[in-house]
Structure 1
Amino acid sequence: MSPICHTQQDPNPINIENGAYGTILIAIHKDIEEDQRIIDNIKEIFREGSSVLFSATNRRFYFGTIKILVPHNWTRQVEYEVAQLEAYENANVIVTDQQSNHRPHVQNPFHCGQEGLFIQLSKTFLIDPELRQHQFGNSGKVIARQFAKLRWGVFDEDYVPGTGAEPFYASNAIMATNGHEITRCSSEVRGDYYDDKTGSLCLHDNNWNLPDSCRFVPSTVQSARASLMFATNIDSDFDLAHSMKA
């Protein structure tokens, strides 16, 4: 297993022309064994993500060209070009061979609104379509969501374990359930509360408090529009804030 450390140099500049983000650099860690599926799936995921980004930004932005930097010991193909200034250390997206927690994420130690450093994807995420679909949903939505976090410094609008976010909060809103509102966007997204430990619907105590293990599971099909930063595993139209700048 290779280390996940990533010494960030000046990041590869992402150009934009007529709404198309180009020259996005995706680098594969040198310790990853050659596997054509990685390259093929990167291309496919970004193609899908381009359509998602275009729709979510009200037809303003999409992915143009991407560059994939493969390890020097991979078999050289006719279509390959010799790398110039491209390096793993300044890539916009890195592919690692981490063996656990395959959730794609953006390294961003800054405040909301500031660009992140890079997107991290695991090799397993790229080569295992069942894992992608069952754990994270539509791959195009996943990569568009991560790019939004990288480019615009936005953050998740749903509960992600280990981030310090709260899965629900006390509320007197009409649509609140048992005096609680789930962390989601928009509030019109429908679903049910399930107990992580038992798998059953959550039950409140005598004081109307929900257990800490209670989680919101959105319905697969939604009539409400949802924020792309909320979830990628539901069938709904998605939006990003219209104030996004290139």
Structure 2
Amino acid sequence: MKILHIYILQIVLLVIRNGNSMELSSSGEYTGVTVRIHEDSPVDNCQQLLDNLQDLLERTSESVGVASGGRVWPSQYIVVLPSSWSGSPCSSRGEIPRGNTRFKRDDIIISDGPLVYGAHPCTVQPKGCGEKGAYISLPLSYLRDNSSWEEERAGKLMAHQFFKLRFGLFDEQGYPDDPLYPNYYKHQGRILPTGSTNIDVKGVWLTEKGMSPCAPDNEVCVFHPQGDNDGLICSLGYLPQLEGTTRYCTPEQLNFRIPPTKQNVICGGKSAHEIIEGSEDYRLVSGTGDSNSSFVPRVDFVLSPREKIVLVLETSSSMGEDEDWKWIQKVAHKLIRYDLPSSIEVGVVSFSNESKVEYPLTKLESARGKLADSVPDKYR
């Protein structure tokens, strides 16, 4: 069973790699914020994609700086390009990382896979209130089409995700037809949208198809801000698309403290502002910051070196006990045929009394079947 333990260790290492790799200086600057473009991302229109990404990261830094009153902000990003882009026009923007290039885990992952978290940026948060998130999931489709960024205030949307990642905040709103975090609540006989704000938000309830009227206590409705909301200044975790919402509401600013937002439910009524103010990051930063400062980050591009994996399989007679070999063979086949990304190089080595190279290091994309077939049929 030794080799099975090796497979499990590989999987654990991949999971640990996801998380915060950035560092925070006493001046409030986050450096080494790692943005990884998934290995299987297509290279088509990569130049425009990277231009859009740099624009989005600059907007994000600006919005984080303003929201924190200049206390903290991301001042440097490392964008890791896929090794599969080597030789493309985009590879010239990045260099092969040297030994002193620091990026160990991913803070933001850009991929073209299934949109599990929707078509917008979303933070994966496996832990609780005040605990750092795992990473921000950023869909490639969101980067490719930036036509809605001004309307949605994309920088503020990403800034909120950054605060969720680093400080363990949650959305200061509810969701349609959600039993835990409903998107409406009743207060003194009134139906109000679930959200943390400093004033009553004017707007309309519409059906999911955009039809009006809609009664949220009888059907699934979505609240759309509409009308004069000029007095709205918070919260960033509820309506970042409105021009006035640039910060999180302080407890004194909150119009109501009782809405069943995800933030309130998970954090026991503590506001996002209170979580940030009581964070370890704020204790590490000296000074109070200046919201009028310029928050222009440096964006560095590096080309990921091609990953190489060698499967080392024990084929001694002891592997026949308890059908160990049967399961190891199945795991190896699945790993090669389906799980590993196409851009990496894979080799297969077996050993018993002697070692044997079953298949030399080869790019997986063109040899999945042959590599899988090179796994010995049975122990020797």
Q: Could you tell me which amino acid in structure 2 is paired with residue 50 of structure 1?
A: S
Q: Could you tell me which amino acid in structure 1 is paired with residue 238 of structure 2?
A: F
Deviation of residue 198 (structure 1)? 5.7
Question: Is the 1:190–1:222 contact (alpha carbons within 8 Å) kept by the matching residues of 2?
Answer: no
2:34 aligned with 1:19, yes or no? no
The answer for the alignment partner of 1:124 in structure 2 is 141
The answer for the alignment partner of 1:206 in structure 2 is none
Q: Could you tell me which amino acid in structure 2 is paired with residue 9 of structure 1?
A: I
The answer for the alignment partner of 1:151 in structure 2 is 166
Q: Could you tell me which amino acid in structure 2 is paired with residue 26 of structure 1?
A: V
Question: Is the 2:129–2:169 contact (alpha carbons within 8 Å) kept by the matching residues of 1?
Answer: yes
Q: Within 5 A, what are the aligned runs for 1:164-203? A: 164-172=180-188, 179-186=190-197, 188=199, 189-197=201-209, 199-203=211-215
Instruction: Calculate percent identity across the aligned residue pairs.
Output: 22
User: Matched residues in 1 for 2:98 and 2:119: separation?
Assistant: 28
Question: Is the 1:185–1:226 contact (alpha carbons within 8 Å) kept by the matching residues of 2?
Answer: yes
Q: 1:39–1:160: structure 2 CA closer, same or farther, 3 Å change rule?
A: farther
Instruction: For residue 129 of structure 2, give the secondary structure of its aligned residue in structure 1.
Output: coil
Q: 1:212–1:62: structure 2 CA closer, same or farther, 3 Å change rule?
A: same
Q: Could you tell me which amino acid in structure 1 is paired with residue 58 of structure 2?
A: R
Q: Deviations over 1:15-72 (max 9, x none)?
A: 1121111100000111111212222222111111111111111121111000011111
The answer for the alignment partner of 1:9 in structure 2 is 16
Query: What TM-score, normalized to structure 2?
Result: 0.55
Report the structure number with the largest CA radius of gyration: 2
User: Matched residues in 1 for 2:93 and 2:184: separation?
Assistant: 53
Higher helix share: 2
Instruction: For residue 92 of structure 2, give the secondary structure of its aligned residue in structure 1.
Output: coil
Uncovered stretches (5+) of structure 1, i.e. residues with no partner:
1-5, 173-177, 204-208
Q: Within 5 A, what are the aligned runs for 1:25-36? A: 25-34=34-43, 35-36=46-47
Question: Is the 1:193–1:214 contact (alpha carbons within 8 Å) kept by the matching residues of 2?
Answer: yes
Q: Within 5 A, what are the aligned runs for 1:1-246? A: 7-10=14-17, 11-17=19-25, 18-34=27-43, 35-74=46-85, 75=88, 76-77=91-92, 79-82=94-97, 86=103, 90-98=105-113, 100=115, 101-132=118-149, 137-161=152-176, 164-172=180-188, 179-186=190-197, 188=199, 189-197=201-209, 199-203=211-215, 210-219=217-226, 222-240=230-248, 241=273, 243=277, 245=279, 246=281
> How many residues are aligned here?
227
Deviation of residue 80 (structure 1)? 2.0
Structure 1, 91-100 or 59-68: larger mean CA deviation: 91-100
Q: Deviations over 1:85-136 (max 9, x none)?
A: 646xx211000103543121111111111000000001100110125456xx
Query: What TM-score, normalized to structure 1?
Result: 0.82
Q: Could you tell me which amino acid in structure 2 is paired with residue 224 of structure 1?
A: L
Uncovered stretches (5+) of structure 2, i.e. residues with no partner:
1-12, 249-272, 282-380
